[in-house]
Amino acid sequence: MRVIVSLAARKDLSEIADYIARENPRRAESFTMELVAAARAIAETPFAWPVLSRHRTAGVRRKLHGRYLILYRMRQDRVEIVRIVHGARDLRRLPIDPPSE
């Protein structure tokens, strides 16, 4: 199964890397790679993580990696990573783009 990363999730990754790089540039790069690997691994068992109640109608699920949430949804032939955010974020206020079809 393919994994597609949305533009919003790509922007999230860039912002996470920039934030971590302020204190530790090397860790920023390695942690970003960890997040990408964790996102790709979702394709192996995509139904293993819970659906977010706030985004239930959109079928958005979450996988925890460290203190970050990888938010994704299933499509017929792919996993779509929609956002990657810190777990302290208020998910009720987090915009989730409509599915890309």
Strand order in the sheet with 61-65: 2-5, 78-86, 68-74, 61-65
27-69: per-residue pLDDT in tens? 999 999 999 999 999 999 999 999 987 766 678 999 999 999 9
6 class by beta-carbon count within 10 Å (0-12 exposed, 13-18 middle, 19+ buried): buried
Which residues are registered as beta bridge partners of 3? 79
Model pTM? 0.87
13-36: per-residue pLDDT in tens? 999 999 999 999 999 999 999 999
82-91: per-residue pLDDT in tens? 999 998 887 7
**Structural domains of the chain sorted by starting position, each given as residue range(s) with its CATH number in brackets:** 2-93 (3.30.2310.20)
Q: What are phi and psi of 35, to 5 degrees?
A: -60, -40
Rounded-to-integer distance, Cα 69 and Cα 38, Å? 10
CA 7 from centre of chain: 11
Please report the pLDDT score of residue 13 as a whole number.
96
Please report the pLDDT score of residue 69 as a whole number.
95
